[in-house]
Structure 1
Amino acid sequence: MKQNSACDIVQDYHRLWTSGNVDMAMNYVAEDITYRAPGTNLHGKDAYRSFISGFAPMLSGIGEIAQFVDGNRVALFYYPQTAATSTAPAAELFTITDGKIVESILIFDRLSYGPPKRN
């Protein structure tokens, strides 16, 4: 049986969680995943699932995905679209080991995803 490439794993994972299927996406995540994002450092699949599950329902779409692959590391660049913003970019670097995502580092502007400003 052919093993999926790091790029395939990340693309499948990303497609699943951004369409709201977090449980299926977690099939691509290692039990001991390390996750870093602005204001958040998590360890373990359960903590990661909880974090992703909290954000996934806010998504209304994903814009313009680009990627860069370097062996077992895959970077995605995209625009998570929510009620608060559709123009704030995000960059995420995934590390794949033995067919699972073992590390994710997410960079984005947290303030862009807060409540809309009132004038």
Structure 2
Amino acid sequence: MTGTAALDIARRYFEAWSGGDFDRAMEFVAPDIRCHAPAGPVMGSEELRAFMGPFAGMVQSTSLLAAYGDADNAVLIYDTATPVVAEGPGAEWHHIVDGRIVEMRIIFDRLPFDVARRSHGGQ
């Protein structure tokens, strides 16, 4: 890959899942992806689908705040709005090989979701 190829793939993945087309987003993910998520490791595309799919399905809107990348790596910083949280900031690092995301690290602020859960009687 050359130039900003990884950034192009990462942006296409982000635009697909944040735009409501999770199946399209998964086309950019390698079958053996390794994802480092706040809740722990997510291994393989089917586990990623089970982990990310429900969240992507409840996202009402996103704002891409910044995107950086080179030939092999990309970083996206964004904000999400869901029915329970108006502002849920997150970031993702992607390592891309042969046009597919093979490794991902997801970082997001869990506090707004924890506050919303507590205010609705959850633990």
- Smaller-chain TM-score bracket: 0.7 to 0.9
CA RMSD of aligned residues (A): 2.0
Structure 1 residues 50-76: Cα deviation after superposition (integer angstroms, max 9, x where no partner): 112111111010024311113311000
Quote the offset at 1:85 in angstroms: 2.1
Cα pair distance change 1:63/1:86, threshold 3 Å: farther
Q: Which residue of 2 aligns with 1:50?
A: 50
**d(CA) in 2 for partners of 1:64 and 1:9?**
15
Q: Which residue of 2 aligns with 1:86?
A: 86
Matches for 1:34-113 after TM superposition, within 5 Å: 34-113=34-113
Q: Which moved more, 1:107-116 or 1:49-58?
A: 107-116
**d(CA) in 1 for partners of 2:84 and 2:115?**
6
**d(CA) in 1 for partners of 2:36 and 2:70?**
20
Contact 1:84 1:114 in 2 (8 A): no
Provide TM-score, normalisation by structure 1: 0.87
**d(CA) in 1 for partners of 2:65 and 2:111?**
21
Quote the offset at 1:114 in angstroms: 4.0
Quote the offset at 1:102 in angstroms: 0.4
Q: Which residue of 2 aligns with 1:10?
A: 10
Quote the offset at 1:21 in angstroms: 1.0
User: How many pairs align?
Assistant: 116
What is the DSSP-based 3-state SS (H/G/I as helix, E as strand, rest coil) of the residue aligned with 1:89? strand
Quote the offset at 1:28 in angstroms: 0.5
Provide TM-score, normalisation by structure 2: 0.84
**d(CA) in 1 for partners of 2:27 and 2:88?**
28
Cα pair distance change 1:59/1:115, threshold 3 Å: farther
What is the DSSP-based 3-state SS (H/G/I as helix, E as strand, rest coil) of the residue aligned with 1:10? helix
Structure 1 residues 6-55: Cα deviation after superposition (integer angstroms, max 9, x where no partner): 11111111111111211111111001101111113111011111112111
Q: Which runs of 5+ in 2 are unaligned?
A: none
Cα pair distance change 1:86/1:65, threshold 3 Å: same
